[in-house]
Chains A and B, each alone.
Chain A
Amino acid sequence: MIEAGIFYLFATVLVGAAVGVISSRNPVHAALFLVLAFVTSAVLWILLEAEFLGIVLVLVYVGAVMVLFLFVVMMLNVNIEKMRVGFTRYAPLGIIVALAVAAEIGYVIWTRRGQLPEKQPLPADNYSNTEALGAVLYTDYVYAFELAAIILLVAIVAAIALTMRQRAGVKAQDISAQVATRRQDRVRLVSMDSEPRQ
């Protein structure tokens, strides 16, 4: 009973936040609605006892991706007028796509309505889905998993290589040179005769 209540509460918030993402006029508000959507969907996953996925969703998307997103959105002065021009033109297409996706989901559920299990049996008390996920990822799917990691690494290297540029005349500090300086390079002791009294 309580679980259903929590589910409907957070599901409502999730849908509301998702609508907010596309309908709010301020891009920073839209990004914040997206954060709210991520957090509420994490709550729904935790409700399904998938706590690893829920926490990782918050950690990766809310903690890292959306922070950078907000950072960029706040830095750029996004022209709101320009963004709103396309809205009505693309709205019919968006509605068609949304209806198509909803129809597909409905069709799948309709054709399998007899086969859906009423309620998944609860796993044993000492069951840890973090462990279960790791056991699958590093055995059965280890090649796919490592391949995904390599692709991400290549993407990082490519992003850096594309944006890296060497400019002449940059007066950046060479910190290793600064650290490596010795007294002899900087200070010179000169011995000279004292000047005669006038």
Chain B
Amino acid sequence: MIDWLRSLFSFLPPMLAELATIVASIMIVLVPLILCVAYTTYAERRVIGFMQSRLGPNRVGPFGLFQPFADVLKLMIKEIVVPQNANRFLFLVAPLLSLIPAFAAWAVIPLTPEFVLSGIDAGLLYVLALTSFGVYGVILAGWATNSKYAFLGAMRSAAQIVAYEIAMGFALVGVLMAGGSLNLQEIIQAQSGSVLHWFWLPLFPLFLVYFIAGVAETNRAPFDVAEGESEIVAGFHVEYGGMAFALFFLAEYANMILISVLVATLFLGGWLSPFQGIPVLGDTLLGASGFIWLALKSAIFLFCFLWFRATFPRYRYDQIMRLGWKVFIPITIVWLAVEGVLVALDVGPWFN
């Protein structure tokens, strides 16, 4: 893909051609991603509507398919009101700070066996560093608004994200030990073989911890105490309207997609085909690795996000803290010790 783009821009001087190639390949990732975000909001309303025996949006276009665009248009023409005692600069920068890391993390995610924007060696660390950056948007929004409700939301979110990030980091250490590399492409290749070669099986506790911590990290139900509309109105974005609010909304859904793709990449073999290694199917088109498998696997987790929101009541704050510190961190540490023994003994197809 990148080679094709490079040949497309070959008429330009070499430095400009390189720049154009980079920008174009970023666009190839970002534009579909933004469309995915738009349709995730639509899917959420339809799916939750279905689960609650409602219709959901069905007026704009066929089956309400143009609803996301109508929403964006509405939010764009609304006025952004900055509260009088708010810190104006930070108030307006905060939504950007939560959106940029959610998009920037895609730079190292392998979408096909060949296509990845930047195949750096420390890819897993890069993802961890950028997802930890997202909390600044929430904290600064809460502080800059200069409102008690927003501040409470920000404080809750900061404590929660710090707690769950540790469990997430330990789960990633497990993946790193099994994959033997920090490069995401090599981690996927280490899982090749069959469905049983994927890391979900040997790292099952870490897989569950990572996904649940991911739900908590994105501030989604049942861990959405940072918003907690029944307690603190809307939490950190209580004073935001129009496009400034839309950016927070975009960041939340972009983070959901990112976590789904990461879980699919790290534990379910990314773009590897689930039919790989099966004698009859393995040679056909179904056995071939490709983007479609990554998309399908991520869609499963994305659906789980919506499902959780429709079915689980919100956690109480002290229960969230207990789950993070007293349940998840011990589970991950114990499983890392178990994994260390398994790696030392060269168990199964995973650890050698």
Give Cα A62–Cα B162 distance, bound, in whole angstroms: 12
Given A67-B162, A68-B162, A74-B143: A55 and B133 interface contact (C-beta under 8 Å): no
Say yes or no: A67-B135 contact (C-beta < 8 A), given A55-B129, A130-B182: yes
What are 30 residue pairs bridging A and B, where the CB atoms are less than 8 Å apart in the complex?
A28-B143, A32-B90, A51-B120, A51-B121, A52-B121, A58-B129, A58-B133, A59-B128, A59-B129, A59-B132, A62-B129, A63-B132, A63-B133, A63-B135, A63-B165, A64-B162, A67-B132, A67-B135, A67-B161, A68-B162, A70-B143, A71-B159, A71-B162, A74-B151, A74-B154, A75-B155, A128-B121, A130-B122, A173-B318, A175-B322
CB-defined contacts of B121 to chain A, threshold 8 Å: 51-52, 128, 130-131
**Chain B residues within 8 Å of A, Cβ to Cβ:** 90, 120-122, 125-126, 128-129, 132-133, 135-136, 139-140, 143, 151, 154-155, 158-159, 161-162, 165, 182, 318, 322
Q: Mark A118-134, 1 if CB is under 8 A from B, else 0.
A: 00000000001011000
A67 and B139 form a contact (CB under 8 A): yes
The 4 closest A-B pairs by CB, nearest first: A63-B132, A59-B129, A58-B129, A128-B121
For window 67-81 of chain A, which residues contact chain B by CB distance below 8 Å? Answer: 67-68, 70-71, 74-75
Residue A35 interfacial (CB < 8 Å): yes
Q: Is the interface of B mostly helix, strand, loop or mixed?
A: helix
Contacts of B132 in A (CB 8 A): 59, 62-64, 67
A-B CB pair tally, cutoff 8 Å: 64
Q: Complex Cα distance A173/B322, Å?
A: 11
In the assembled complex, the CB of A51 is this many whole angstroms from the nearest CB of chain B, namely 5
Q: Is A100 an interface residue (CB 8 A)?
A: no
Name the interface residues of A35-87: CB closer than 8 Å to any CB of B.
Answer: 35, 51-52, 55-56, 58-59, 62-64, 67-68, 70-71, 74-75
Return chain A residues, CB-CB under 8 Å to B159.
Answer: 71
- B165: which A residues are within 8 A, CB to CB? 63-64
Most chain A CB atoms below 10 A, which of B129, B161, B162? B129
Cβ–Cβ < 8 Å partners of A56 in chain B = 125, 129
Docked pose: A62 CA to B131 CA in angstroms: 11
Contacts of A35 in B (CB 8 A): 136
What residues of chain B lie closer than 8 Å to A175, measured between beta carbons? Answer: 322
Known: A63-B128, A173-B318. 17 other contacts (CB 8 A): A35-B136, A51-B121, A52-B122, A55-B129, A58-B133, A62-B129, A64-B162, A64-B165, A67-B139, A67-B161, A67-B162, A70-B158, A71-B155, A74-B143, A74-B151, A131-B121, A175-B322
CB-defined contacts of B155 to chain A, threshold 8 Å:
71, 74-75
- Chain A residues lying within 8 Å of B143, measured Cβ to Cβ, are 28, 70, 74
Residue of A with least CB distance to B19: A2
Residues on A with C-beta less than 8 A from B139 are 67, 70-71, 74
Chain A: CB-nearest residue to B319: A175
